[in-house]
Amino acid sequence: MTEHPEQPRRPLHYTEDDVQREVSELESKSATAARIFDLRRIIGGLFVVYGVIVTITGITDSQAAIDKAEGVNINLWTGIGMLLLGIFFLAWLKLRPTPPPLPPEGLTEEKGAE
């Protein structure tokens, strides 16, 4: 706590100006917007995989499995539903790709410095 005497101690009173300044400064250095991947690809990918697995299960389901589910081929229907959801996310990603983030000044030269 005292090993950094070169930093002036803030007064105990903490005001909104301090928060505004601190958070704005951090926001200007933040890397999330520039580097985070697009979640739509993950949701789309997972649901396409799940959709295919469950749909195939539905197509090959035995009569016993269908009887258990009140005579509905629930695997088939759920699989198709999940597949459509996955395709929806991938299509959305395709039609509206991630906008390239505006590189905040000072970020480019530090690239790679974790």
Residue 28 Cα distances to 17, 21, 37, 92, angstroms? 16, 11, 19, 29
Structure tokens at 111: 């690239």
Q: Show Cβ contacts of residue 47 under 8 Å, excluding neighbours closer than 6 positions.
A: 82, 83, 85, 86, 89
Q: How far is the CB of 21 from other proteins (least distance, A)?
A: 9
Site for other proteins (CB under 8 A): which residue of 11, 27, 102, 105?
Answer: 27
Backbone angles phi, psi at 100, to 5 degrees: -60, 130
Establish if 61 lies at the interface with other proteins (CB under 8 A): yes
Establish if 102 lies at the interface with other proteins (CB under 8 A): no
Q: Footprint of other proteins on this chain (CB under 8 A)?
A: 1, 4, 7, 9-10, 12, 14-16, 19-20, 23-24, 26-27, 29-37, 39, 42-43, 46-47, 49-50, 53-54, 57-58, 61, 65-66, 68-70, 72, 74-75, 77-79, 81-82, 85, 114
